[in-house]
Structure 1
């Protein structure tokens, strides 16, 4: 998990340990080893796990399970810019969500779908800007979301229904829209993980 020194199963787990198990669960679901309902149930439990023993119970029956004393630290994916000028962008399927993501549309559109993505940090900051364009950000049910954006003659969605799970990644979305839109939706996963 997060250190190379042997850990007692009763040792408290870190955010990076929970992220590693969440990634392992996502890989198992993508390979068809876990049905979607079991995957989502285990994922919610992984994000709220307190100890290494809690995490081990969720992943020991899967290939590639991480022993409590052999894991390494998780490193956040590099900051990313998604740009659409008179064009579009899509980020869907399995991808690594960075700690910082900036999206910009100018006379274009974009979609950021985090439902099947691997979170590489417990806190994610998204800066979204739309000028005469539009973009949609899809978050999975367990993720916690904070929104603080502004719109001038456009829209910046502030209503994301539902609450995330305790311990799940927190996504903070900020930015602005000028004659454009930034839509944010909490959406359930389909029956299988899409590989793009």
Structure 2
């Protein structure tokens, strides 16, 4: 149960509060406390929540999560990240903290950035993706909003990302270029019990 007073419960939630609840829901799903469909349903509700009361209802039945103080911290974004593959590759999959700014670079190599099971630490994420004679793929969960501003020169940079994101969900802006290479951007559903499920 929540320890909030009625006045506190009606206070409007901020982006950082919604993101912190989304992280707690991800933790509960990784522990097997929520199945995939329930996790995704609550996640969409968390991003659309306007007040603390709406957020509290999403975690009240989860042990060690219901305490409001656990999610009202500083909410600082993860530090900026560089993923580099030169004659090699990189993979970022499973449960990890998505920073508000990330740069990916492949030269005669390849990479995968999978955001489906990741914890967002900011409502706005900017990815600078560069591929030279190499390729990389960015996998997006169904609920995020996306804007693509990349360019392909004698290569490809995906702009046609299927589907719309959920209201209030994080926005991912992808910029950059590919030269004799490619940057693939795809929405992909999470899998229950699949090999790309977050580690428990």
Tell me the TM-score normalized by structure 2: 0.92
Question: What secondary structure, in the 3-state scheme, does the structure 2 residue paired with 1:8 have?
Answer: helix
1:186 matched to 2:187? yes
1:129 matched to 2:133? no
Query: Which aligned runs of 4 or more in structure 1 are off by greater than 4 angstroms?
Result: none
- C-alpha separation in 1, matches of 2:134 and 2:82: 16
The question of whether the paired residues in 2 share the 8 Å contact of 1:141 and 1:188 is answered with: yes
Cα distance, 1:137–1:25 mapped onto 2, change above 3 Å: same
- C-alpha separation in 1, matches of 2:114 and 2:131: 17
Equivalent in the alignment of 1:3: none
Cα distance, 1:115–1:26 mapped onto 2, change above 3 Å: same
Shift of 1:67: 3.5
1:36 matched to 2:64? no
- C-alpha separation in 2, matches of 1:159 and 1:67: 41
Equivalent in the alignment of 1:87: 88
Equivalent in the alignment of 1:174: 175
Equivalent in the alignment of 1:64: 64
The question of whether the paired residues in 2 share the 8 Å contact of 1:10 and 1:52 is answered with: yes
Shift of 1:64: 2.5
Shift of 1:72: 1.1
Equivalent in the alignment of 2:117: 116
Q: CA RMSD in A?
A: 1.5
Equivalent in the alignment of 2:160: 159
The question of whether the paired residues in 2 share the 8 Å contact of 1:101 and 1:125 is answered with: yes
Shift of 1:194: 2.0
Name the stretch that deviates more: 61-70 or 74-83: 61-70
Equivalent in the alignment of 1:195: 199
Equivalent in the alignment of 1:45: 45
Shift of 1:65: 1.9
Equivalent in the alignment of 1:9: 9
Tell me the TM-score normalized by structure 1: 0.94
- C-alpha separation in 1, matches of 2:164 and 2:7: 32
